[in-house]
Structures are given as structure tokens and as C-alpha cells.
């Protein structure tokens, strides 16, 4: 936390606020800069894309403790399409599940009712799961331990309706 705070202060000359385990930076300039980086992300080389995906996986990546479901929980449709495209760029095929409002799910043993449409990217087949593990992985301890439990069983099945944004992916690929 201190190393991160010092780095932000030195690099961007911004004030960093800390509370318990959280660090925040209030800056319109930094927000604008990060937005521009994300907009240009599809045009970056694979090394930069992998670096971005590693950070994204630590923030919005998910894996069950037993090495089960592996995927991402993007905040919206455009973000889901972008992450799916970036995964495909590095050779990882994912499936997009659209969860409608009112759907019932579970989190830490609690029942959760979805208030608005939610997008979840899953990586099911073993080849892509192992590719994710070797190229991206997780740096957070709990997630890193869970990814170590990935077995040789494919996680195919379970969902029948996927929306593949192939047209959008092709359009993004042509922009490169």
C-alpha cells in the first residue's frame, strides 16, 4: 500500500488517500488518462494487453475456491465486449453470459437477486483455462491458490444462451 502510494505521488504528483487497506486518488486528469488508455487498448501489442488483463483479473476476475468457474464480472456490456475481445487477441476463448434483471444467484452462501442486466465472461474448456493460468493468472493470494486447483476437467455446459459479439470483435480487429 505504501509502495503504491509513493509511486502515485512521485509519478503523477497527486495526493493519495488511505483508509485501512484501500488507497484512492481523486483526479479528473488521471481518470481522463485511464479512459483514453482503455479506448486505445485494442491497438496495443499483446504484451501490454496481457499486463492490462493481469490487473483486470485481480480486480474483476473470479474463480471458485475449488478451481471451478473461472471468469470475469465486467461492469457493463461495452466492458464485457472489450475484455472478451482482448482475451481472444491473446488466444483465450470465453463465453459471455447475459444475466437478466431479477435472476437469482448466490454469493458467499447468500441469495442475490440481480437488479439490472449483468454480464459474466466464463472460460470453460480446459485448453483456454490452462492458457489463462499460464499467460494471465492471478496475483492475489486467494485467487492464485484457487487457480492452482484447476483440474483437467472441462467446465463446458450449464448455460445455453450466449451472445457472441463477433461483429463488434471483427470491427475492433479491423481498426488495428
Return the pLDDT at 158.
Answer: 41
Return the pLDDT at 138.
Answer: 85
Return the pLDDT at 89.
Answer: 92
Return the pLDDT at 22.
Answer: 75
Show Cβ contacts of residue 41 under 8 Å, excluding neighbours closer than 6 positions. 48, 49, 52, 82, 86
Is 0.85 topped by the overall pTM? Answer: no
Return the pLDDT at 151.
Answer: 56
CB atoms within 10 A of CB 83: 25
The Cα 143–Cα 133 span in angstroms is 11
- Ranges in the chain, pLDDT < 70: 1, 29, 64-68, 149-176
**138-136-160 Cα angle (round to 5):** 90
Return the pLDDT at 154.
Answer: 46
Which residues are bridge partners to 120 per DSSP? 97
Amino acid at each position: 500500500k505504501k509502495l503504491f502510494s509513493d509511486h502515485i505521488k512521485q509519478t503523477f504528483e497527486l495526493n493519495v488517500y488511505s483508509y485501512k487497506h484501500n488507497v484512492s486518488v481523486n483526479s479528473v486528469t488521471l481518470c481522463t488518462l485511464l479512459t483514453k488508455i482503455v479506448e486505445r487498448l485494442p491497438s496495443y501489442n499483446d504484451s501490454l494487453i496481457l499486463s492490462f488483463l493481469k490487473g483486470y483479473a485481480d480486480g474483476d476476475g473470479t474463480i471458485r475456491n475449488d478451481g471451478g468457474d473461472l471468469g470475469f464480472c465486467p461492469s457493463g456490456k461495452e466492458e464485457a465486449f472489450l475484455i472478451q475481445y482482448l482475451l481472444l487477441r491473446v488466444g483465450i476463448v470465453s463465453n459471455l453470459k447475459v444475466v437478466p434483471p431479477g435472476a437469482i444467484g448466490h454469493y458467499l452462501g447468500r441469495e442475490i437477486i440481480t437488479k439490472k442486466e449483468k454480464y459474466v465472461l466464463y472460460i470453460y474448456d480446459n485448453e483456454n483455462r490452462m492458457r489463462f493460468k499460464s499467460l494471465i493468472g492471478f496475483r492475489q493470494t486467494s485467487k492464485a491458490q484457487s487457480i492452482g486447483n484447476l483440474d483437467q476437467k472441462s467446465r463446458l455446459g450449464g448455460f445455453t444462451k450466449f451472445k457472441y459479439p463477433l461483429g463488434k470483435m471483427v470491427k475492433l480487429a479491423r481498426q488495428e
